[in-house]
């Protein structure tokens, strides 16, 4: 097929050509005297992305899921109690992992389309007078429903009752695209991955751990080995790894961090908001459809989950978009399968790239008989982007 595939799933995201090129390297000795330069540069760059001075970034040769497991096994004891909320497939999977690893999870069930409820976290923490809860889990950006939660608000309720639990945050589809503040929010473990906002292929688990988390690790007896923080921290301190790192991914990450530095993290967040606003205009003003996210406070700037009208199957829209227009849209997962399709709008993107996704989704919906007006999504996004500035002087750059 002529032309390229339009990749608009919320991860893996488009890898910019300069990052692809940076990854095309011959293999080298990861125990050479020179290798530490690369490791140390990458770790320094990651600290800025996590917004941390005191935290320690760690890279595992895994996907984000490996970092979920590392957080649990490094910091907890067998059977420990953890508090988590469930409002989508990713928050669900982390809870499922906790249960499969034998932890006792107090689950706050939330309707899909809403985010982490600070008031219910507060109630659970307040009731926990004996401090049985050892970790509080929050999914910052629920990729399945396009919902962003307020992590700072969860930290605030923990502090308000002086609860000593560790705070673990899944920022896989937020880090580098939506603001995340490791130190300010006193996050103990931030879990992320390479293939979303960091604009890399999948294959690196990107995590950051606080001093408090590393201290907890010393007494934590949950079995662990491959994902032990200490092996990483000891080796990384002098620029090495306890086992063979993915060298192309390391070079790719170095280039990705340079790309982020050039645009500026704050500008990147603004660009994501601006692009997301255009997509939301297409959905609600153009197509007259609803987002899965129930209210503006939950709208995600990295992914929109779009509800198709009753009686239609979103999976058929996704299949049509792929087969006829070479456009990859995100599927509805689990509870929302068939009910939503998703447009990922994170990473290396601009208005016209997103126009391709909006136009393609619109054509596929029309083909499947959905009651949307031809051209309406594109017109609404166009109006938004033409009438709003990106709050960033790109023309001057
Ligand atoms: C993608 C994603 C994950 C899983 O990451 P993998 O890299 O696929 O293991 C976890 N949480 C969220 C919120 C995600 O978007």
Query: Is 205 found in the same domain as 89?
Result: yes
| Res 202 pLDDT > 70 | yes
Ligand 1 touching residue 173 (CB < 6 A): yes
Q: What is the mean pLDDT of residues 351-355?
A: 98
Q: What is the mean pLDDT of residues 148-160?
A: 98
- 295 CA from centroid of ligand 1 (Å): 23
Please state whether beta strands 141-142 and 147-148 pair in parallel, antiparallel, or not at all (unpaired).
antiparallel
pLDDT-derived band at 391 (thresholds 50, 70, 90) equals low
- 394 CA from centroid of ligand 1 (Å): 31
Element (H, E) at 324: helix 314-325
| Res 395 pLDDT > 90 | no
Query: Per the domain annotation, does 276 fall within a domain?
Result: yes
Query: Per the domain annotation, does 25 fall within a domain?
Result: yes
Q: pLDDT value at position 397? A: 42
Task: Decide: 360 and 322 in contact? Cβ < 8 Å.
Answer: no
| Res 253 pLDDT > 80 | yes
Ligand 1 touching residue 143 (CB < 6 A): yes
CA torsion, ordered 249, 251, 252, 255, to nearest 10 deg:
160
| Res 368 pLDDT > 70 | yes
Query: Per the domain annotation, does 12 fall within a domain?
Result: no
Q: Which of 262, 281, 304 is the last residue of a domain?
A: 262
The domain total for the chain is: 2
Task: Decide: 381 and 286 in contact? Cβ < 8 Å.
Answer: yes
Query: Is 137 found in the same domain as 76?
Result: yes
Query: Per the domain annotation, does 107 fall within a domain?
Result: yes
Query: Is 73 found in the same domain as 22?
Result: yes
Q: What is the mean pLDDT of residues 57-75?
A: 98
Q: pLDDT value at position 389? A: 84
Q: pLDDT value at position 325? A: 98
Query: Is 298 found in the same domain as 229?
Result: no
Burial 94-107 (b: 16+ CB within 10 A, else e): bbebbeebebebbb
- 17 CA from centroid of ligand 1 (Å): 23
Query: Is 268 found in the same domain as 159?
Result: no
- CB-neighbour burial class of residue 45 (10 A; exposed 0-12, middle 13-18, buried 19+): middle
Q: At what angle do helices 35-50 and 247-263 cross, to 10 degrees?
A: 40
pLDDT-derived band at 390 (thresholds 50, 70, 90) equals confident
Please state whether beta strands 166-170 and 189-193 pair in parallel, antiparallel, or not at all (unpaired).
parallel
Q: What is the mean pLDDT of residues 296-322?
A: 98
- 129 CA from centroid of ligand 1 (Å): 33
Q: pLDDT value at position 349? A: 97
CA 134 to chain centre: 24
Q: Which of 225, 243, 262 is the last residue of a domain?
A: 262
Query: Is 299 found in the same domain as 171?
Result: no
pLDDT-derived band at 14 (thresholds 50, 70, 90) equals very high
Please choose, from the candidates 247, 229, 196, the residue with its C-alpha nearest in 3D space to the C-alpha of residue 30.
Answer: 247
Query: Per the domain annotation, does 301 fall within a domain?
Result: yes
Q: Which residue has the tokens 């960033």?
A: 392
Ligand 1 touching residue 330 (CB < 6 A): no
In angstroms, the CA 124 to CA 119 distance is 9
In angstroms, the CA 308 to CA 323 distance is 19
| Res 186 pLDDT > 90 | yes
> For residue 219, what are the CA distances in angstroms to 78, 166, 193, 223?
12, 14, 27, 12
DSSP of 352-384: HHHHHHHHHHHHHHHHTT-S--TTHHHHHHHHH
Query: Is 166 found in the same domain as 24?
Result: yes
Q: What is the mean pLDDT of residues 45-60?
A: 98
Query: Per the domain annotation, does 149 fall within a domain?
Result: yes
Q: Which of 262, 279, 307 is the last residue of a domain?
A: 262
Query: Is 155 found in the same domain as 69?
Result: yes
Query: Per the domain annotation, does 184 fall within a domain?
Result: yes
Query: Is 194 found in the same domain as 53?
Result: yes
Q: What is the mean pLDDT of residues 277-296?
A: 98
- 208 CA from centroid of ligand 1 (Å): 15
Please choose from 64, 95, 137, 200 the residue to mutate so as to test ligand 1's pocket, defined by most ligand atoms within 8 A of CB.
64
Query: Is 106 found in the same domain as 34?
Result: yes
CATH of the domain at 287: 3.90.1150.10
| Res 200 pLDDT > 70 | yes
Task: Decide: 229 and 58 in contact? Cβ < 8 Å.
Answer: yes
Element (H, E) at 209: strand 205-209
Query: Is 222 found in the same domain as 89?
Result: yes
**pTM score:** 0.97
| Res 281 pLDDT > 90 | yes
Please choose from 90, 94, 246 the residue to mutate so as to test ligand 1's pocket, defined by most ligand atoms within 8 A of CB.
90
- 161 CA from centroid of ligand 1 (Å): 31
Please choose, from the candidates 374, 303, 386, the residue with its C-alpha nearest in 3D space to the C-alpha of residue 340.
Answer: 303
Q: Which residue has the tokens 């976290």?
A: 121
Query: Is 354 found in the same domain as 255?
Result: no
Task: Decide: 165 and 216 in contact? Cβ < 8 Å.
Answer: no
Ligand 1 touching residue 170 (CB < 6 A): yes
Ligand 1 touching residue 13 (CB < 6 A): no
CATH of the domain at 247: 3.40.640.10
Name the average pLDDT for the chain: 97
Q: What is the mean pLDDT of residues 214-227?
A: 97
pLDDT-derived band at 1 (thresholds 50, 70, 90) equals confident
Which residues have a Cβ under 8 Å from the Cβ of 345 and sit 6 or more positions away? 8, 10, 272, 275, 276, 279, 301, 302, 303, 304, 354, 357
Domain that holds residue 335: 264-396
Query: Per the domain annotation, does 297 fall within a domain?
Result: yes
pLDDT digits (tens, 9 = 90+) for 34-49: 999 999 999 999 999 9
- Atom number in ligand 1 closest to CA 142: 13
- Atom number in ligand 1 closest to CA 171: 13
């Amino acid at each position: 097929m002529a032309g390229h595939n339009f990749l608009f799933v919320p991860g893996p995201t488009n890898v910019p050509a300069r990052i692809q090129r940076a990854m095309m390297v011959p293999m080298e000795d990861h125990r050479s005297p020179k290798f530490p330069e690369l490791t140390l540069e990458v770790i320094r760059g990651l600290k800025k992305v996590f917004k941390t001075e005191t935290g320690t970034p760690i890279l595992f040769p895994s996907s984000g899921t490996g970092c979920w497991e590392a957080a649990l096994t490094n910091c907890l004891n067998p059977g420990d109690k953890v508090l988590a909320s469930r409002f989508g497939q990713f928050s669900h999977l982390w809870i499922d992992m906790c249960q499969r690893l034998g932890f006792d999870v107090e689950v706050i069930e939330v309707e899909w389309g809403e985010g982490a409820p600070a008031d219910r976290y507060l109630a659970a923490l307040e009731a926990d007078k004996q401090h049985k809860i050892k970790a509080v889990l929050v999914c910052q950006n629920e990729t399945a429903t396009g919902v962003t939660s307020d992590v700072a608000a969860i930290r605030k309720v923990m502090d308000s009752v002086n609860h000593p639990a560790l705070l673990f945050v899944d920022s896989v589809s937020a880090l580098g695209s939506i603001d995340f503040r490791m130190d300010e929010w006193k996050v103990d473990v931030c879990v992320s991955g390479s293939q979303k906002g960091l604009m890399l292929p999948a294959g690196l688990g990107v995590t950051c751990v606080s001093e408090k988390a590393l201290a907890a690790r010393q007494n934590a007896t949950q079995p662990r080995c491959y994902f032990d923080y200490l092996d990483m921290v000891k080796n990384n301190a002098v620029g090495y790894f306890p086992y063979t790192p993915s060298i192309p991914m390391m070079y790719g990450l170095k280039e990705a961090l340079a790309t982020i530095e050039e645009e500026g993290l704050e500008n990147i967040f603004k660009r994501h908001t601006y692009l997301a606003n255009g997509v939301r205009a297409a959905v609600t003003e153009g197509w007259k459809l609803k987002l899965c996210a129930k209210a503006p406070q939950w709208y995600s700037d990295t992914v929109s989950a779009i509800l198709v009208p009753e009686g239609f199957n979103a999976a058929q829209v996704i299949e049509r978009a792929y087969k006829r227009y070479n456009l990859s849209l995100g599927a509805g997962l689990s509870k929302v399968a068939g009910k939503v399709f998703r447009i990922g709008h994170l990473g290396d993107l601009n208005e016209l790239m997103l126009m391709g996704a909006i136009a393609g989704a619109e054509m596929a919906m029309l083909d499947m008989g959905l009651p949307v007006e031809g051209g309406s999504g594109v017109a609404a996004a166009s109006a938004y982007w033409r009438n709003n500035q990106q709050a960033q002087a790109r023309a001057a750059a």
